[in-house]
Amino acid sequence: MHNRRVVVTQRFFDDKTITFLENAGCTVVQAELPAGQADGNLSHDELVTLLQGAAGWIVGHARVTRELQADLPDLQIISRRGVGYERVDLEAAKDFGKVVCIAAGGNDASVADHTMSLMLAAGHRFRETQQNMITGNWSILMGSDLYQKTVGIVGLGRIGRSLVQRLKGFDVQILAVDEDRGDGFVQQNGIELVSLDDLLTRSDYISLHVPLTPETKFMIDASALLRMKRGAILVNAARGGLVDDKALLDALKSGHIAAAGLDVFVSESDPEYKSVTQELIELPNVIATPHAGASTREGLDRTNMVAARCVVAVLNGENPPAQCVVADGRRAG
């Protein structure tokens, strides 16, 4: 049989998925990462050592550069346990005949739940209240309802749509920046499609659900933040880099933005923003989590399996689900 060695550089890889891969004839190798370290912290040489001879790679946040792919000629499939792919050089994958997949559909529910949690926690000032209680101050802080507010959603992809379903019980008005895909979703859910500028000026809560691309980088900059309603709440559980965190820090300190719920930060990819992130997470009106929106037991089990199914399909010479494929170098060959 041809090479079916699969390396997993992600933590929390469940036994059921490992068994699935083994039953498909794969040899599964799980990278042993130091405590507190993710595959995004591994150097080029460390990754080459781990992946030498592997046909499949189930990856987290490692940078999959052209140079790395060139040094891994046996690698056929790069399968992300997640849905972002900005750290993978897709053109290189096509040039080298490799397939790049994402775990589409695996974590939609988990991230949408997490987004709702950030909205509610920010609006009701949970963090600030509990911090006060720890110091003996049990005075009540006035929060804000989500009920009957205007919620702006930037991006009606899988997670954005899952969020819409969860918002139904709050009797909100939903504005969205996206296109009408003609499947009736916008009309059925009473969504008003608007420009980004309109969404910024009208929304009480804004939630971002778009990929990070050159076009979307810093889409929420100082100017956009100033156009937001005074007292509005911003939630970003999508990608660090959609928001200019320096500008957000200023807007929060000035009181123009009431609060923010953040699961992602610019500093994840740009170390120069590390001090900005530290200042943000120390603010009492910021609810912060460490890019953990998809990290539930159930969500990780689902994304593990989607990623694994993509690997097996490619190693079998078949096509993974179309919604999972972001680059297929086999077609270019």
pLDDT given at position 242: 98
User: What pTM does this model have?
Assistant: 0.88
One domain for residues 261 and 173: yes
One domain for residues 100 and 119: no
List the beta strands (DSSP E) in the chain. Answer: 5-8, 27-30, 56-59, 77-80, 99-101, 150-154, 173-177, 192-193, 205-208, 232-236, 257-262, 286-288, 325-328
Percent of the chain residues past pLDDT 90, beyond the cut: 92
One domain for residues 70 and 137: no
One domain for residues 129 and 277: yes
One domain for residues 283 and 176: yes
Nearest to 64 by CA among 49, 48, 53: 48
For residue 2, what pLDDT band results from cuts at 50, 70 and 90?
confident
One domain for residues 17 and 69: yes
How many domains, in total, are found in the chain? 2
Range of the domain at 11: 5-106+296-332
Render pLDDT for 20-58 as a digit per residue (tens, 0 to 9).
999 999 999 999 888 778 898 899 999 999 999 999 999
Which residue among 209, 239, 302, 309 is the active-site one? 239
Active site residue 291: yes
Render pLDDT for 221-275 as a digit per residue (tens, 0 to 9).
999 999 999 999 999 999 999 999 999 999 999 999 999 999 999 999 899 999 9
- pLDDT for 18 beyond 70: yes
Question: Which residue carries 């460390």 as its tokens?
Answer: 46
| Boundary (domain end) residue, out of 254, 271, 288 | 288
The average pLDDT across 292-317 equals: 96
Residues 37, 322 contacting (CB under 8 angstroms):
no
One domain for residues 178 and 232: yes
Mean model confidence pLDDT for the chain: 95
The CATH number assigned to the domain holding 313 equals: 3.40.50.720
Active site residue 268: yes
Which residue among 127, 209, 268, 309 is the active-site one? 268
One domain for residues 89 and 153: no
Active site residue 124: no
DSSP character for 39? Answer: G
Cα 306 to the center of its chain, rounded Å? 16
Q: d(Cα 221, Cα 243) in Å, to the nearest integer? A: 6
For residue 333, what pLDDT band results from cuts at 50, 70 and 90?
very low
Which residue among 114, 161, 291, 309 is the active-site one? 291
Render pLDDT for 82-115 as a digit per residue (tens, 0 to 9).
888 989 999 999 999 999 999 999 999 999 999 9
Q: d(Cα 208, Cα 193) in Å, to the nearest integer? A: 15
One domain for residues 60 and 118: no
What kind and span of H or E run contains 60? Answer: none
pLDDT given at position 33: 85
